[in-house]
Amino acid sequence: MLDETSERTAFEVVGDAGPGFLAQLTGVIARRGGDITSVQIMESRPNSRTYFEVEIMGNSAGMLDELRTLPIVHEVRMVNSMQKIYGKRIIIMGGGAQVGQVAIGAISEADRHNIRGEHISIDTIPLVGESALAEAVRAVARLPRAKALVLAGSLMGGEIEQAVRDVREQGLLVVSLNMAGSVPEAADLVVTDPVQAGVMTVMAIADTAKFTIDKLKRRVF
């Protein structure tokens, strides 16, 4: 990560797909002193369309101009970053009915903060089964911009509990409904009402809210 004088820029590169395409692009970025904070290959055939977020000291124009000179590059276009557009992400997973109720609270509360300048987006996935849920929980820590996970169900434990502990160690906030099983014991916050769980999760990650998990005197509501 560069210091506060650095500039964050987001851009897409369209070019000839094939071995070494990404290496040539990252080579230019590195030579120009850019620090890649996010990269995603969105299409690979017949052309490659790759999205970058890069922090660079000073102006990024020179780096982008050099990328355009590469024979394999067809186009380089500036775009708004995913952070600016979609912002922080909350992932809700579990049983379909409970997921829907948590989403109602989260979307309503996110709207209240987004009109005040926040950018918070809500993702949902109805999912059942211990192994499938445990794998999905661990995958949340790999998702870009994911700040919180809500587990919405009536029974979760075993491998899911360990997955919750693993992602919490990586800095992810985990909120659980008050359900049977051992997952509530592993979560940061346990909320009985699913709508309220969605509301409190948004409040916990919003910069415009005066609410922090650390200041709570109890963790079950």
**pLDDT tens by residue, 93-145:** 998 889 999 999 999 999 999 998 889 999 999 998 999 999 999 999 988 88
DSSP string, 73-120: EEEEEEE--HHHHT-EEEEEEE-HHHHHHHHHHHHHHHHHHHTTT--E
CATH classification for the domain delimited by 86-215, as one of 1.25.40.10, 3.40.50.10550, 3.30.559.10, 3.40.50.300 = 3.40.50.10550
Region 25-48: mean pLDDT is 86
Return d(Cα 40, Cα 88) in angstroms, integer. Answer: 17
> Domains of the chain: which residue ranges?
6-81, 86-215
pLDDT for 216 equals 75
Of the pLDDT bands very low, low, confident and very high (cuts 50, 70, 90), residue 1 is very low
pLDDT band for 10, please (50, 70, 90 cuts): very high
User: What's the CA gap between 137 and 164, in Å, rounded?
Assistant: 7
Which DSSP state fits 220? B
User: Residues 65-81: what's their mean pLDDT?
Assistant: 92
pLDDT digits (tens, 9 = 90+) for 138-172: 999 988 889 999 999 888 999 999 999 999 999 99
Query: What pLDDT does 81 receive?
Result: 83
Tell me: domain 6-81, CATH 3.20.20.140, correct?
Answer: no
What pLDDT score does 70 carry? 94
The pLDDT of residue 6: 67
Q: Is 16 a residue whose pLDDT tops 90?
A: no
The DSSP bridge pattern shows strands 120-126 and 88-94 to be: parallel
Does the pLDDT of residue 44 top 80, yes or no? no
Which of 79 and 46 is assigned the larger pLDDT?
79
Same fold, 6-81 and 86-215: no
